[in-house]
Structure 1
Amino acid sequence: MCHAIKMTDDTQLLTLQNQLAQMQVQIDALKKDKAVWQEDKVEMQTRIDHLLAELKLSKSQKYGRKSEKAPRGTFNEAEQHKTSEPPKHHKKGKQSLAKHFEREDVEHTLTELACTCCGEQMHHCGSEDSEQVKIIPAKISVIKHKQFKYACRHCEHEELSCKIITAPKPAQPIPGSIASPEALAAVVTAKYCDALPLYRLVDIFERGGLKISRGTLANWCIKVGVLIKPLVKAMQRHLLGEHSLCADETRVQVLDEGDNPSSNSQMWVYRSNEVSKQPVVIYDYQAGRSRACAEAFLRDYQGYLQCDGYSVYDGIEGVIPVGCWAHARRKYDEALKAESKNKGRAHKAISFISQLYKIETQAKNKKLSPQARYQLRQEKALPILTQFKAWLDEASDKVIAGSYIGKAIKYNLNQWHKLIRYVEDGHLGIDNNITERDIRPFTTGRKNWLFSKSVNGAQASAILYSIVMTCRANDINPYYYFQHLFKTLPARQSDDDDFTDLMPWNVHLDFDYS
């Protein structure tokens, strides 16, 4: 009986041990599931934080301030030391009107000259002058060309036939067209300088009594683009001989380009550096955004090229890419707007970059030469860059790779060899903002006219924008420059002519503004 009891106890013990083992397996499985759930929770929370950051950045970009400048009152290490220069005050009072405006005198006199005190006659003793602006909408007039004919009296009486010679008129930009150089200059200036779509110009001209179709205006733009193309090619050759260049690109939709009308082509922009004495801006229309597009334009160029972090600019033979600190700073600005926590690193990075920009401001205010600017950067900017690089290396291991601050630091480190290259040469700028400003009029116009219908229209736009932005870079009135070109270029016989005399810095535009 004792033996039976012992067997029963052993059986129960074995059963309990088996149950305990099963429970341990279940516990291990639950622990494993818990660990997986914990990982999923962390991953999900990271994803939620990232989506919230994207939402916050999107709302900030849509509704918030567009400027990257720090608001007043924000602490900035680069501005701790106040300048000793006195603050600049804006002039107050009425604006003085330019002397070249036509003046129209309107006299105001008293009808009753009897003195209110004694009744005696008052006499004129001076005047009080004030001026107002008078603006007349687009004035449309007609140029009537009368070409006189000449015949020889002697031949009329003595010969069997008499030759009649007609006095020639100057070569016209569009032969047989009603468009004068002044009309063409007005149309292309309104479209490419003021971003007015052609349909609005049609309405403006119709209010002035001239009915003209949008298709006709578009045809004018394309034809004058072809007329000006040799000059723009000459400007491009001048540009490729510069010490250093800047580049950027933006999308443009061309309906007749390729099989898909909604696909985007590209408008590439190249320009002289910010210290160039004879700056040139060239727009280059291309169907794509590949390396081949940049290589085709830059094949005859050797030197520095300041651009953003787009990889197609890397590895082009003879071209040394230079980074843009504005793009680097923009990444940290996005991190500040997107992330609610851990903003300290973004503020620290922006503080470093602000110190670099403060040095550039000093150089600009003192109007330093490229050599002097190089010396200033070597003395003041290099130590800051050394400190910044050490901070980036340390911070890169402490941030989440997928976060906005992590992406900003990674971009900074990946682009570092190009970002610090600007200190090598005083001709180089610290950023590529000068090119972004030159591309902005195109993007503004694109919001109005949305797309180009044909490839010829897009190419003409590139040519005409090149003239407009080169005029702006050289502080020249584009309307009068276009007018001069449309009167001069038709007489040029060959595309291989020397266009040196027509370069913006060689043209003296002496026009009567009235």
Structure 2
Amino acid sequence: METALENLSKEDLLKMVSSMSKENELLHQERDILSQERDYLKAQVEMLQRMQFGQKRERFEGDPNQTFLPFHAEPAEAEQQLELIKEKIEYVRQRPNHKGRAKLPAHLPVEEIEIHPEGDLSEMVCIGQEITEELECEPAKFYIKRYIRYKYAAKNRDGVSIAELPERVIDKGIAGPSLLAMILVGKYQDHLPLYRQKQIFARENIQIPSSTIEGWTRQALEKLEPLYEQLVFDTKAQGYLQVDETPIKVLDSDKKGAAHQGYYWVYHSPLDKTVLFDYNPSRGGHVPTPMLDNFKGYLQTDGYAAYEKFGKKKDITHLACWAHARREFEKGLQNDPERAKKALLMIQDLYKVDRKAKEEKLSPDMIRELRLKESLPIINDMGKWIFREIKNTLPKSQIGKAMAYAYTRWDMLSEYLRDGNLQINNNLIENAIRPVALGRKNWLFAGSHEAAQRSAMIYSFFAICKKHEVNPFLWLKHTLMNIASINHKNIKELYPQNFKKSTDM
């Protein structure tokens, strides 16, 4: 070997050394790539383990010594159990009243029951009273509202006079506005599928076919279409919108035996506290165009790419969501706890500033001044830290993804400092979407694309009811009774927030 090397020229030796160096460099690169892949896969496994809340199935192994059913207790044991029950009942009767109970609502009607001592009281004088109150209720009360219209005829003239029926929600239908309101609130607010409500009717010996209840629901929702169209128009004119989307299964599918994955696109106006649900079969970037094409103002979204083209428009200021950025860093606690914790603490400080503003009930101008004084330095420090650290992180690691998420949206994450009316995150719209997620667990899907859009209407108004602390049943009953007869110029009076104003007066 040494002789062979001695016979090589200097140039050949240099080429050999260069070739070996390249091979070593390639080996190092391969090791780095394998190391990155290993760290990435390790982080993925840790995240999946973290997301796993419980076992997929439960096992049960019977005890071979278990007594077979049926079985009965021994007579002596049964007698002993009766004595224990007797003692328990005596204890419950004699137990003193709880002295720390909450006050009962003052607006409820009161049924008074007077109880006098037994025996002859003629020689006694009443010296006072002791009052004990209980909160009671009655189940839903069903009754028949019967309109009796008398006919009148003139004695010496032809013709008959009869009064007109009041406006009815369903023409020639037997369901009144209160019943329809109860059904819709039950399904879309309290997440009771129609078949469960049918069972409630049956307990009161009221047998209503499922098809009839479904028809009532559809026709009642159709009555709300003019009010919903006005809400769409007013939402387009807002100057600050938060936008998000959530999935909904729809049975109307081109694929046999499968449900279609549709989406509710949700638009929330934090200033007016209004919410608009709009259904679309697609999640494509073209869907928000009818709502946002002429939009001007502040647009706050998560990281979904569909909103980027709107955010780049000249008349739109695009805001990102600190809650989404925080979630990315929270996922990185398993992968890189030191840097993830540092980022989370800085984000926590930003939320402390906004919490302080809320607790002190500051005006928007004062909130802006407070943020510029206390939040801006935190954002600047965090931005510099991410700029330094992102170079030393693996792009595929969770901490690398979290830093990249924040780094690419840094200007949008900082935009909320501009105005005290702007929110630090998108949580308000996520709270408005939550009833849909709860509903999905109960009624599972919509029967058609048209049914999904009708559901979007009632979800919109019930979300507004919640934000304005309006009783959805009272609002819906009032609206169903008046929407057909109201002047179209005054239709905004039927908005939940305006219903609250009228009831407060």
Could you say if the C-alpha distance between residues 386 and 449 of structure 1 is closer, same or farther in structure 2, counting changes exceeding 3 Å? same
Q: TM-score, normalised by structure 2?
A: 0.81
Give the distance between the partners of 1:34 and 1:145, measured in 2 at CA. 96
Written as runs of structure 1 = structure 2, the 5 A alignment for 1:68-467 is: 93-112=100-119, 123-155=125-157, 162-259=158-255, 261-273=258-270, 276=271, 278-316=272-310, 317=313, 318-336=315-333, 338-339=334-335, 342-467=336-461
Question: Structure 1: which amino acid aligns with 2:50?
Answer: S
Structure 1 residue 271, shift from structure 2 partner: 1.1
SS of structure 1 residue aligned to 2:264 = strand
Q: Could you tell me whether the CA contact under 8 Å between 1:480 and 1:509 is conserved in 2?
A: no
Written as runs of structure 1 = structure 2, the 5 A alignment for 1:5-24 is: none
Give the distance between the partners of 2:483 and 2:209, measured in 1 at CA. 26
Structure 1 residue 391, shift from structure 2 partner: 0.2
Q: Could you tell me whether the CA contact under 8 Å between 1:265 and 1:289 is conserved in 2?
A: yes
Q: Could you tell me whether the CA contact under 8 Å between 1:307 and 1:323 is conserved in 2?
A: yes
Give the distance between the partners of 2:493 and 2:20, measured in 1 at CA. 85
Question: Structure 2: which amino acid aligns with 1:246?
Answer: Q
Q: Percent identity?
A: 31
Written as runs of structure 1 = structure 2, the 5 A alignment for 1:58-73 is: 58-63=48-53
Q: Kindly provide the CA deviation profile for residues 21-40 of structure 1, in whole angstroms up to 9, marking residues without a partner as x.
A: xxxxxxx9999999888766
Q: Kindly provide the CA deviation profile for residues 136-179 of structure 1, in whole angstroms up to 9, marking residues without a partner as x.
A: 22221111122222211112xxxxxx322331111111111111
Q: Could you tell me whether the CA contact under 8 Å between 2:186 and 2:192 is conserved in 1?
A: yes
Written as runs of structure 1 = structure 2, the 5 A alignment for 1:33-52 is: 43=33, 46-52=36-42
SS of structure 2 residue aligned to 1:331 = helix
Match of 2:43 among 48, 53, 65: 53
Q: Kindly provide the CA deviation profile for residues 290-335 of structure 1, in whole angstroms up to 9, marking residues without a partner as x.
A: 2221111223421111110111112224433210000000101111
Look up the match of 1:6. Answer: none
Q: Could you tell me whether the CA contact under 8 Å between 1:138 and 1:208 is conserved in 2?
A: no
Question: Structure 1: which amino acid aligns with 2:496?
Answer: P
Give the distance between the partners of 2:244 and 2:389, measured in 1 at CA. 30
Give the distance between the partners of 1:13 and 1:57, measured in 2 at CA. 58
Q: Kindly provide the CA deviation profile for residues 331-375 of structure 1, in whole angstroms up to 9, marking residues without a partner as x.
A: 011111x43xx3110011011111111111111111111111111
Could you say if the C-alpha distance between residues 391 and 44 of structure 1 is closer, same or farther in structure 2, counting changes exceeding 3 Å? same
In the alignment, structure 1 segments of 5+ residues that lack a partner are: 1-11, 19-27, 65-91, 115-119, 156-161
Q: Kindly provide the CA deviation profile for residues 370-424 of structure 1, in whole angstroms up to 9, marking residues without a partner as x.
A: 1111111122211111111000001101111111111000000011121111111
SS of structure 2 residue aligned to 1:470 = helix
Q: Could you tell me whether the CA contact under 8 Å between 2:150 and 2:162 is conserved in 1?
A: yes
Structure showing greater radius of gyration is 1
Structure 1 residue 51, shift from structure 2 partner: 3.6
Look up the match of 1:117. Answer: none
Structure 1 residue 125, shift from structure 2 partner: 2.3
Q: Could you tell me whether the CA contact under 8 Å between 1:291 and 1:312 is conserved in 2?
A: yes
Give the distance between the partners of 2:460 and 2:322, measured in 1 at CA. 26
Could you say if the C-alpha distance between residues 123 and 37 of structure 1 is closer, same or farther in structure 2, counting changes exceeding 3 Å? farther
In the alignment, structure 2 segments of 5+ residues that lack a partner are: 9-17, 55-98
Give the distance between the partners of 1:214 and 1:509, measured in 2 at CA. 37
Q: Could you tell me whether the CA contact under 8 Å between 2:298 and 2:318 is conserved in 1?
A: yes
Question: Structure 2: which amino acid aligns with 1:53?
Answer: A
Could you say if the C-alpha distance between residues 139 and 48 of structure 1 is closer, same or farther in structure 2, counting changes exceeding 3 Å? farther
RCO (CA 8 Å, sep 6+): is it higher in 1 or 2?
1
SS of structure 2 residue aligned to 1:248 = strand
Give the distance between the partners of 1:406 and 1:97, measured in 2 at CA. 54
Give the distance between the partners of 1:390 and 1:13, measured in 2 at CA. 59
Could you say if the C-alpha distance between residues 136 and 32 of structure 1 is closer, same or farther in structure 2, counting changes exceeding 3 Å? farther
Structure 1 residue 236, shift from structure 2 partner: 2.5
Give the distance between the partners of 1:29 and 1:451, measured in 2 at CA. 64
Q: Kindly provide the CA deviation profile for residues 219-242 of structure 1, in whole angstroms up to 9, marking residues without a partner as x.
A: 222222221111122123223333
User: RMSD over aligned Cα, in angstroms?
Assistant: 3.2
Q: Could you tell me whether the CA contact under 8 Å between 1:306 and 1:321 is conserved in 2?
A: yes
Look up the match of 2:71. Answer: none
Question: Structure 2: which amino acid aligns with 1:503?
Answer: Y
SS of structure 2 residue aligned to 1:139 = coil
Question: Structure 2: which amino acid aligns with 1:98?
Answer: P
Look up the match of 1:504. Answer: 496
Could you say if the C-alpha distance between residues 422 and 258 of structure 1 is closer, same or farther in structure 2, counting changes exceeding 3 Å? farther
SS of structure 1 residue aligned to 2:374 = helix
Could you say if the C-alpha distance between residues 140 and 313 of structure 1 is closer, same or farther in structure 2, counting changes exceeding 3 Å? same
Could you say if the C-alpha distance between residues 107 and 46 of structure 1 is closer, same or farther in structure 2, counting changes exceeding 3 Å? farther
Give the distance between the partners of 1:417 and 1:191, measured in 2 at CA. 42
Q: Kindly provide the CA deviation profile for residues 21-75 of structure 1, in whole angstroms up to 9, marking residues without a partner as x.
A: xxxxxxx9999999888766665554454344334333433439xxxxxxxxxxx
Give the distance between the partners of 1:390 and 1:481, measured in 2 at CA. 51
Q: Could you tell me whether the CA contact under 8 Å between 1:257 and 1:455 is conserved in 2?
A: no
Question: Structure 2: which amino acid aligns with 1:63?
Answer: F
Could you say if the C-alpha distance between residues 215 and 432 of structure 1 is closer, same or farther in structure 2, counting changes exceeding 3 Å? same
Give the distance between the partners of 1:281 and 1:206, measured in 2 at CA. 35
Q: TM-score, normalised by structure 1?
A: 0.80
Give the distance between the partners of 2:329 and 2:276, measured in 1 at CA. 31
Aligned length: 449
Could you say if the C-alpha distance between residues 320 and 13 of structure 1 is closer, same or farther in structure 2, counting changes exceeding 3 Å? closer
Q: Could you tell me whether the CA contact under 8 Å between 1:481 and 1:509 is conserved in 2?
A: no
Give the distance between the partners of 2:269 and 2:125, measured in 1 at CA. 64
Q: Kindly provide the CA deviation profile for residues 120-144 of structure 1, in whole angstroms up to 9, marking residues without a partner as x.
A: 9654322222222212222211111
